[in-house]
Amino acid sequence: MQMRNTSRDTVLQQFKVSEASELLQFLIDKQVRKSRNAIKSLLAHKQITVNGKIITQFDHKLEIGDRVEIMKFDRSRKVKKLKGLTIVYEDENLIVVDKEAGILSVSTDKEKSRTVYNALNEYVKKQSRNARVFVLHRLDREVSGLMVFAKSIEVQSLFQIGWDKIVPVYNYTAVVYGEVSPSSGTLTSWFTENKNFVVFSSPTDNGGLKAITKYKTIKTNKHNSLLTFDLETRRKNQGRVHMKSIDHPVVGDKKYGAISNPIKRIALHAQDMVLIHPVTKNKLEFKSPTPKKMMDLLSEKEIGQPTVNK
């Protein structure tokens, strides 16, 4: 059963669907607002519910007998803040979150502490007892930024089969030690992993996995540089390993070369994500600002030297 916080929600208009239609066209036909853009704004601000469930998809299919309601704007719906993460987008198929540094994506054999995964499972079960989320990818505990989870095993399978097409853009920002030369370029190598789960880079094909990282310097203060990473391949710890391989490790990344941790986290952030929705085929774009702690590393003060543990 779909639950709703009725003490907070105020219904402005209510309609019963008499023939099958797409949601946007239904709202236009009912003239709920004066313009098409104003109606789209209702969807974007999560003011439309169908049978008590918030719907943001303009092409949501309506069936005869469905109840459509226009709700009073509730600012708290714009984002939902949970401990360690913020939900920035949600529909019946996906949840996109902005993860803070310090929280695991999923639990491990050694670590059973609170995770993004179990926080989201608790969240969706409050909406429906049988609901759950499905893991699509991970961010390390001390890395922050955008993540996407599926709400069904079918949608999870679509991502597993076609991640590169569904997620054409998934870029990171990082603060690395030193001034990188050249300021932009492409790093290509082959990755192997040892029994301690540490990844090593080889400039020649050694039978490992080929890894390609495009990087670009955005800002530098001679001591540290802010880079963007476009990962052409998506290997474990790829950007971190490649930065170590050129003696410019990510600030705070002791696993891959740094010997200081001035901001008590790895200075790596998943900043840009573009999704081609696997069900609706709509293009969804998300951007998370680079955290202030990372940007503070670009001040003129020298932070965290010496830098490299070879």
Return the number of other C-beta atoms located less than 10 Å from residue 146's C-beta: 23
Closest CA to 278 of 84, 132, 134: 134
Q: Is this model's pTM higher than 0.75 or not?
A: no
Residues with Cβ within 8 Å of 171's Cβ and at least 6 positions away in sequence, in order, are 228, 229, 230, 231, 270, 271, 272, 273
* Residue 240 token pair: 């971190």
| The token pair that represents 208 in the structure block | 């490992």
| pLDDT tens sequence for the chain (310 residues) | 233 333 346 888 999 999 999 999 999 999 998 888 888 888 877 889 898 888 888 888 999 999 999 988 665 555 577 889 999 888 889 999 999 999 999 987 666 678 999 999 999 988 888 899 999 999 999 999 999 999 999 999 999 999 999 999 999 999 999 999 999 999 999 999 999 899 999 999 999 999 999 999 999 998 999 999 999 998 999 999 999 999 999 999 999 999 899 999 999 999 999 999 999 888 888 999 999 999 999 986 555 444 455 5
SS3 per-residue string spanning 217-285: EEEECCCEEEEEEEECCCCCCHHHHHHHHCCCCECCCHHHCECCCCCCCCCEEEEEEEEECCCCCCEEE
3-state helix, strand, coil in the chain (%, to 5): 20, 35, 45
Distance CA 37, CA 109 (A): 49
